[in-house]
Amino acid sequence: AAKNEGRSIIKTFEPVMLYDRQLRTLMASELRDAIGTDQLCVHYQPIVNLRDGSVNGVEVLVRWNHPTRGMIPPDSFIPLAEEIGAISEVDRWVMATALQQYAIWRAALLVPENFQVRVNISAIELRQLDMVDFVRGLLKRMSVPPPSLVIEITESALVSGGEVETYSLLSLKQLGVCIEIDDFGTGYSSISYLRNLPVDMVKVDRSILREPATGSWQPDFVAAVFQLIRAAGLGAVFEGIETQEQADFLRSLGEISGQGFYFSRPLPEPAVTELLRSGNALPLGPAVQS
Ligand code: C2E
Ligand code: MG
Ligand code: MG
Ligand code: MG
């Protein structure tokens, strides 16, 4: 599996190692030190308008470039950051870094007007009372129009949300920020919330596109999920598009954006800037990896 994760992610570190108490304590203190240094970095995965292959956004994905353990993927340290109370700092650093980059792309006229920057936030960050103030201040400081920012929140975090979460969502919405349900289809939740929550878009989890157990995919099922989202009046984004067959099928369904290794892996900033500059339509082809 390590090979499929892209060349930059060297799997020397596995989450299961966190069961080792000593290592966990060590990693926790290393993570605390890493925040605010250049050990944390972000990669950007292009989001593609399936109709014409144009890049209409990026998802910002954090990585930890550990001095001795190599590139640690987020699934291996985000839970640790949550446990030690450092997730807010991580999520805010990622958001600030991404919006600063977006402001640079905008000033250089490298992105279209409807371009959107997607960041992930943890359920814990959504629960912070000053979270919306932070977002508002950041948008103002970077002169970024609120609809250019999409905040991705996992289905499970949204559905189990209490009063503070609901307040944050409504305030973000009022601010004009776009809210997206992430990992749709994995949360064991009722689908009625699609009509009740203040969200704008749904990102369908990649397991809907491809059965993890069998590796097969079912076009009829995928089409039904898309129709459900449209019926709820929401926009649809599909992740985990890995084959041309999947891309062609999704394109035939209607107005859909997508991301996946078929189009491009998450890329470091210089590669994404180059992609935007050259106006290249995706897919880039198998030669390009981050
Ligand atoms: P996610 O938000 O669902 O992000 C999509 C993940 O799927 C990324 O993994 C991406 O590299 C991967 N992916 C994209 N296309 C394909 C594909 O075609 N095939 C396959 N097999 N995988 C694909 P990544 O970068 O390892 O991130 C994992 C998760 O970590 C993210 O899942 C997100 O939940 C979390 N995460 C990443 N950055 C942040 C952050 O700044 N803050 C928080 N709280 N969570 C983050
Ligand atoms: Mg996401
Ligand atoms: Mg997702
Ligand atoms: Mg996910």
Residues with CB under 5 Å of ion ligand 2 are 120, 152, 182
Q: How far is the centre of ligand 3, averaged over its atoms, from the C-alpha of 240 (Å)?
A: 9
* CB atoms closer than 10 angstroms to residue 75: 8
Verify whether ligand 1 is closer than 6 Å to residue 120 (CB atom): yes
Instruction: Look up residue 37 and give its amino acid.
Output: T
pLDDT at 194: 87
Among the bound ligands, name the one nearest to the CA of residue 209: 1
Cα 148 to Cα 119, 167, 209, 219, 290: the distances in Å are: 11, 21, 27, 31, 25
Torsion angle (degrees, nearest 10) of CA 159, 77, 16, 19: -100
Verify whether ligand 1 is closer than 6 Å to residue 183 (CB atom): yes
Residues with CB under 5 Å of ion ligand 3 are 182-183, 239
Cis peptide leading into residue 283 (ω within 30°): yes
| Interface confidence (ipTM) of the complex | 0.98
Verify whether ligand 1 is closer than 6 Å to residue 246 (CB atom): no
Positions of the chain with pLDDT lower than 50, given as ranges: 1-10, 286-290
- Secondary structure tally for the chain: helices H, strands E: 12, 9
**Mutate-to-test residue for ligand 1 from 61, 153, 182, 211, highest number of ligand atoms within 8 A of CB:** 61
User: Which atom of ligand 1 lies closest to the CA of 152?
Assistant: 2
Instruction: Look up residue 120 and give its amino acid.
Output: N
- The H-assigned helical ranges of 108-242 are 123-126, 131-141, 155-159, 163-175, 193-196, 206-209, 219-231
Q: Residue 240 in 3-state DSSP? A: coil
Q: How far is the centre of ligand 2, averaged over its atoms, from the C-alpha of 182 (Å)?
A: 6
- DSSP letter at 52 equals T
pLDDT at 30: 95
Task: List 57's β-bridge partners, or say none.
Answer: 47, 116
Among the bound ligands, name the one nearest to the CA of residue 203: 3
pLDDT at 60: 98
Encode pLDDT of 40-77 as tens digits: 999 999 999 999 889 999 999 999 999 999 999 999 99
Verify whether ligand 1 is closer than 6 Å to residue 115 (CB atom): no
Verify whether ligand 1 is closer than 6 Å to residue 30 (CB atom): no
Q: How far is the centre of ligand 2, averaged over its atoms, from the C-alpha of 134 (Å)?
A: 20
Q: How far is the centre of ligand 3, averaged over its atoms, from the C-alpha of 66 (Å)?
A: 24
Verify whether ligand 1 is closer than 6 Å to residue 155 (CB atom): no
Q: Whose CA is nearest to atom 21 of ligand 1?
A: 240
**Mutate-to-test residue for ligand 1 from 35, 239, 257, highest number of ligand atoms within 8 A of CB:** 239
Encode pLDDT of 4-44 as tens digits: 444 444 455 565 555 677 888 899 999 999 998 999 999 99
Question: What DSSP line would sit under 122-146, residue for residue?
Answer: -HHHHT-TTHHHHHHHHHHHTT--G
